[in-house]
């Protein structure tokens, strides 16, 4: 997995590449779809229903990939048959109270692409970029009830902080996972890549 190699888990060719502004609509669709399936039962229903139209999301991603492209680093997973099936974005850490310089803002794959090593490959690709742009430390905030937080534990993240936020009128608990040595993580991750 990686730059241009075929996906050895399936038959179709899958690549991870830097996102372009033309990907905004596809990223918005993946974002809305995976938000719904990930957060059903975790976030207020009305908040998930409000996402019914991806048009707002699409405008946001067009903005990020156009005007803010120097501040947001966005990668997509593209299946040659299905188009964009996942994405990850990151940049400078937004919570300056923690000693982490880089942050993963979002990392989502459509359900049917889970469990094939794509999350790891996407994570390593974005982490390599954040290592160059922001330095060797990284943080990600995840809902405490989201089982995907175990993915970040599998990636070597250590619980670093907790906070309570308000989303859609409800209080939600979040956990931060942190990395102190991205260089090692990226080196190990790359050595496991197929191509």
Ligand X SMILES: CC(C)(COP(=O)(O)OP(=O)(O)OC[C@H]1O[C@@H](n2cnc3c(N)ncnc32)[C@H](O)[C@@H]1OP(=O)(O)O)[C@@H](O)C(=O)NCCC(=O)NCCS
Binding residues for ligand X (CB under 6 A): 34, 38, 106-109, 114-120, 142, 146-148, 150-151, 154
Can you tell me the distance from the alpha carbon of 25 to that of 160, in angstroms, rounded to the nearest whole number?
Answer: 34
Q: Which is nearer to ligand X, 117 or 135 (CB)?
A: 117
Smallest distance, ligand X to C-beta of residue 49, A: 19
The residue number whose beta carbon is nearest to ligand X equals 119
Q: Which is nearer to ligand X, 34 or 137 (CB)?
A: 34
Q: Which is nearer to ligand X, 69 or 114 (CB)?
A: 114
Q: Tokens standing for 117?
A: 């090593």
Smallest distance, ligand X to C-beta of residue 172, A: 13
Smallest distance, ligand X to C-beta of residue 154, A: 3
Smallest distance, ligand X to C-beta of residue 140, A: 7
């Amino acid at each position: 997995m990686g730059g241009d190699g075929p996906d050895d888990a399936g038959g179709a060719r899958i690549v991870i590449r830097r996102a372009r502004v033309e990907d905004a609509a596809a990223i918005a669709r993946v974002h809305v779809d995976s938000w719904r399936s990930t957060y059903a039962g975790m976030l207020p229903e009305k908040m998930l229903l409000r996402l019914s139209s991806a048009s707002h999301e699409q405008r946001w991603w067009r903005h990020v990939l156009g005007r803010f492209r120097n501040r947001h680093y966005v990668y997509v997973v593209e299946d040659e048959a299905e188009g964009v099936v996942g994405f990850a974005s990151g940049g400078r850490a937004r919570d300056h109270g923690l000693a982490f310089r880089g942050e993963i803002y979002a990392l989502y794959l459509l359900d049917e692409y889970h469990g094939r090593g794509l999350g790891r490959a996407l994570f390593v690709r974005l982490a390599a970029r954040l290592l160059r742009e922001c330095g060797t430390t990284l943080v990600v905030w995840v809902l405490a009830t989201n089982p995907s937080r175990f993915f970040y534990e599998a990636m070597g993240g250590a619980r670093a902080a907790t906070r309570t936020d308000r989303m859609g009128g409800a209080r939600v608990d979040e956990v931060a996972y942190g990395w102190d040595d991205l260089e090692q993580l990226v080196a190990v991750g790359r050595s496991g890549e197929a191509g």
